[in-house]
C-alpha cells in the first residue's frame, strides 16, 4: 500500500488520479457493433452474443417457466434478505415523492410543475463472477414507484443460456416487465435502437465494464438518456484515532474486491491508525475468495496522512469520491463541509456494504469525479419535470406590456404580436 505524508496541494490531482484506461480502441469496437445492430437488429445481437458469451440463442426473452425455476432455486433465507432490502429501498425512495408545486407569480398568472414517469426504462445488470442482483432492486424499485410503464432488463447469459437465478428472482419481485438474455455492447445497442426482440427505451441505467460504459455514452448520441457517466468503483475513508482499524480495513477491502481497477483511499490525521489499518488489510485480505482481485486494487491504494481535518476535507472535496466513509470524532464537521461525494456513511457501525444492499439508499452512484456535478440514482432519475401555466385576462394585462417590450428588443415581432392581439381584444 502506498503511504503518503502531508502531500502539497499542487500534488493532489496526481496523487488522486483515477486508474482510467484509454478508450480509443474500445470506441472503435463499440461503434462497429452499434452500426451493425442498428442495421441488422437481432441478427447482429445473435452474432455478438455468440462471440462474447459463447452461446447461440433462438429466443432472448426469459420465460415464465425460467422465472419460476429461479424462484425455486433461491433459498428462503436469501428471499427474506432480498425482501428486507426491497422494503427499505422502497421506503426511502417513496419518501422522495414530491407534490405538485403551484404558484401565482402575479395576479392572473398561475404556473405549476408536475412530475411524470419516463415511460420506457432499460436496466443493464452485469453477470459474470459477481452477478449484481442487488442492482436490480436499486433500479427497478424506484422505477416502479415512479410509474414507468415499461421496465426492460438485459443481462448476459452464461454458457448454458441462463441468467443467474437471483437476478431473475429480484427482477420478478420488483415489477420488471421484460427480461432479456443479452449482455454487453449488443444489449445497450439493442435498447438504443430497438430490435424485434429488444424494445427501444428512453433511458438506460446500470453498471458494466468499460465496454458497456462506452456503449452507454454512445447511446446518448442517438437520443437515449443514461443514468450518469461511470468508471471503476471507488471509496475514500477519513478516519482518526476513534476509528476501529479492523472496520476501516474491511471497508477498504469491500470496495477493492469489486475489480482490479477499483480505487480505495484512506485519509487520516493519525499515523498510528494508518499503520494499524495497513496491518489489518494484510491480515484480512488472505481470507477473501477474491483476494487476487483485491490485492491488485490494494497495490494502487493510497494511505494519506494530513495534519488537520480542514486539509483532509479540502482534499476530499477536491477528489469527489463515489463512496465517502466518515470515522471521525468530528463527523459533524465533515458532514457539514462535504460538497462532492456520491453517498456518505457516518460512524464505526455504518459500513459501505449497508448502502450497497439493505439500508435503503441507492448504490448507483457517480464515479471518476462526477460526484462534483452528478447525483446518484434517486426517484427523480426516473421522472421528468413538466411545467404548466394558465393566464387569465387580468394576467395577460399584467405581464403583456413587459412581454411586448422584451420581444421587440430581441427583434422577435411575431412574439410581440401574439401578445398585442390579445391585449387589443380586451380593450
Q: What is the pLDDT of residues 324-351, one digit of tens each?
A: 999 999 999 999 999 999 999 999 999 9
Domain boundary among 226, 251, 277: 226
Binning pLDDT at 50, 70 and 90, where does residue 104 land?
Answer: very high
Q: Specify if 378 maps to a domain.
A: no
Binding-site residue ranges for substrate:
233, 255, 258, 323, 356, 410, 415
In this structure, are residues 189 and 38 in contact, taking their beta carbons and an 8 Å threshold? yes
Binding-site residue ranges for Zn(2+):
255, 258, 356, 415
Same domain flag for 12 and 35: no
Q: Specify if 55 maps to a domain.
A: yes
N residues, the chain? 427
Nearest C-alpha neighbor of 341 from the set 308, 315, 379: 315
* Residue 322 bears catalytic tag: yes
Same domain flag for 146 and 199: yes
CA dihedral of 297, 298, 301, 302, whole degrees rounded to 10: 180
Given 234, 278, 322, 352, the catalytic residue: 322
Same domain flag for 270 and 169: no
Number of domains in the chain: 3
Q: Specify if 283 maps to a domain.
A: yes
DSSP state of 372: G
Same domain flag for 190 and 260: no
Cα 241-351-126 angle, rounded to 5 deg: 140
Using alpha carbons, list the distances in angstroms from residue 307 to 11, 21, 240, 302, 312. Answer: 16, 33, 11, 16, 8
Residues 397 and 399: their CA atoms lie apart, in Å, by 6
Residue 359 CA, chain-centre distance (Å), reads: 16
Q: Is the pLDDT of residue 213 over 80?
A: yes
Same domain flag for 209 and 261: no
* Residue 363 bears catalytic tag: no
Same domain flag for 209 and 245: no
Q: Specify if 53 maps to a domain.
A: yes
Same domain flag for 297 and 173: no
Residues 46 and 182: their CA atoms lie apart, in Å, by 9
Binning pLDDT at 50, 70 and 90, where does residue 229 land?
Answer: confident
Percentage with pLDDT > 90 across the chain = 93
The alpha carbon dihedral of 27, 30, 33, 35 has a sign of negative
In this structure, are residues 117 and 154 in contact, taking their beta carbons and an 8 Å threshold? no
Q: Is the pLDDT of residue 363 over 80?
A: yes
Same domain flag for 74 and 96: yes
Q: Specify if 371 maps to a domain.
A: no
Residues 427 and 424: their CA atoms lie apart, in Å, by 5
Same domain flag for 170 and 69: yes
Q: Specify if 387 maps to a domain.
A: no
pLDDT tens readout for residues 240-299: 999 999 999 999 999 999 988 899 999 999 999 999 999 999 999 999 999 999 999 999
pLDDT tens readout for residues 49-94: 999 999 999 899 999 999 999 999 999 999 999 999 999 999 999 9
Domain boundary among 340, 360, 380: 360
**Which residue matches cell numbers 483515477?**
18
Residue 386, strand partner residues: 114
- Under 8 Å CB-to-CB from 400, ≥6 apart: which residues? 419, 420, 422, 423
Q: Specify if 383 maps to a domain.
A: no
The mean of the pLDDT values for the chain is 96
Binding-site residue ranges:
124, 186, 209, 233, 255, 258, 323, 356, 410, 415
Residues 214 and 210: their CA atoms lie apart, in Å, by 6
Binning pLDDT at 50, 70 and 90, where does residue 127 land?
Answer: confident
Binding-site residue ranges for NAD(+):
124, 186, 209
pLDDT tens readout for residues 26-57: 899 999 999 999 999 999 999 999 999 999 99
Same domain flag for 29 and 155: yes
In this structure, are residues 277 and 245 in contact, taking their beta carbons and an 8 Å threshold? yes
Q: Is the pLDDT of residue 10 over 80?
A: yes
Same domain flag for 50 and 188: yes
- CATH number of the domain to which 208 belongs: 3.40.50.1980
Q: Specify if 92 maps to a domain.
A: yes
Binning pLDDT at 50, 70 and 90, where does residue 139 land?
Answer: very high
The boundaries of the domain holding residue 285 are: 2-17+231-360
Please give the backbone phi and psi of residue 195, each rounded to the nearest 5 degrees, phi first: -130, -175
Domain boundary among 360, 378, 402: 360
- CATH number of the domain to which 408 belongs: 1.20.5.1300
Same domain flag for 277 and 326: yes
Given 36, 278, 280, 323, the catalytic residue: 323
Amino acid at each position: 500500500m502506498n503511504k503518503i505524508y502531508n502531500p502539497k496541494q499542487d500534488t493532489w490531482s496526481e496523487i488522486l488520479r483515477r486508474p482510467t484506461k484509454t478508450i480509443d480502441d474500445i470506441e472503435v469496437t463499440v461503434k462497429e457493433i452499434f452500426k451493425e445492430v442498428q442495421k441488422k437488429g437481432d441478427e447482429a445481437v445473435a452474432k455478438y452474443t455468440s462471440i462474447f458469451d459463447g452461446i447461440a440463442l433462438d429466443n432472448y426473452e426469459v420465460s415464465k417457466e425460467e422465472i419460476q425455476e429461479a424462484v425455486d432455486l433461491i433459498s428462503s433465507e436469501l428471499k427474506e434478505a432480498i425482501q428486507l432490502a426491497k422494503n427499505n429501498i422502497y421506503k426511502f425512495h417513496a419518501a422522495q415523492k414530491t407534490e405538485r408545486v403551484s404558484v401565482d407569480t402575479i395576479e392572473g398568472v398561475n404556473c405549476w410543475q408536475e412530475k411524470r414517469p419516463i415511460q420506457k426504462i432499460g436496466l443493464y445488470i452485469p453477470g459474470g463472477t459477481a452477478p449484481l442482483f442487488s442492482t436490480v432492486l436499486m433500479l427497478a424499485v424506484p422505477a416502479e414507484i415512479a410509474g414507468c410503464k415499461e421496465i426492460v432488463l438485459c443481462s448476459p447469459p452464461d454458457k448454458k443460456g441462463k441468467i443467474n437465478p437471483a437476478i431473475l428472482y429480484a427482477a420478478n419481485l420488483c415489477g420488471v416487465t421484460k427480461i432479456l438474455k443479452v449482455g454487453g455492447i449488443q444489449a445497450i445497442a439493442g435498447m438504443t435502437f430497438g430490435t424485434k426482440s429488444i424494445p427501444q427505451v428512453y433511458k438506460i441505467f446500470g453498471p458494466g465494464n468499460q465496454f458497456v460504459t462506452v456503449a452507454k455514452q454512445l447511446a446518448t448520441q442517438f437520443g437515449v438518456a443514461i443514468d450518469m457517466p461511470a468508471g471503476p468503483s471507488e471509496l475514500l475513508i477519513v478516519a482518526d484515532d476513534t476509528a476501529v482499524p479492523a472496520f476501516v480495513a474491511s471497508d477498504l477491502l469491500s470496495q477493492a474486491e469489486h475489480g482490479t481497477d477499483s480505487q480505495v483511499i484512506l485519509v487520516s490525521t493519525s499515523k498510528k491508525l494508518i499503520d494499524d489499518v495497513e496491518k489489518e488489510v494484510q491480515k484480512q485480505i488472505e481470507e477473501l475468495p477474491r483476494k487476487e482481485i483485491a490485492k491488485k486494487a490494494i497495490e494502487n491504494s493510497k494511505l494519506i496522512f494530513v495534519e488537520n481535518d480542514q486539509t483532509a476535507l479540502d482534499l476530499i472535496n477536491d477528489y469527489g469520491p463515489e463512496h465517502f466513509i466518515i470515522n471521525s470524532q468530528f463527523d459533524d464537521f465533515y458532514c457539514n463541509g462535504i460538497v462532492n461525494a456520491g453517498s456518505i456513511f457516518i460512524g464505526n457501525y455504518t459500513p459501505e456494504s449497508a448502502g450497497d444492499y439493505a439500508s435503503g439508499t441507492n448504490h448507483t452512484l457517480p464515479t471518476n469525479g462526477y460526484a462534483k456535478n452528478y447525483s446518484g440514482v434517486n426517484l427523480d432519475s426516473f421522472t421528468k419535470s413538466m411545467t404548466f401555466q394558465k393566464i387569465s385576462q387580468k394576467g395577460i394585462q399584467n405581464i403583456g406590456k413587459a412581454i411586448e417590450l422584451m420581444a421587440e428588443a430581441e427583434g422577435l415581432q411575431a412574439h410581440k404580436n401574439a401578445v398585442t392581439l390579445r391585449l387589443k381584444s380586451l380593450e
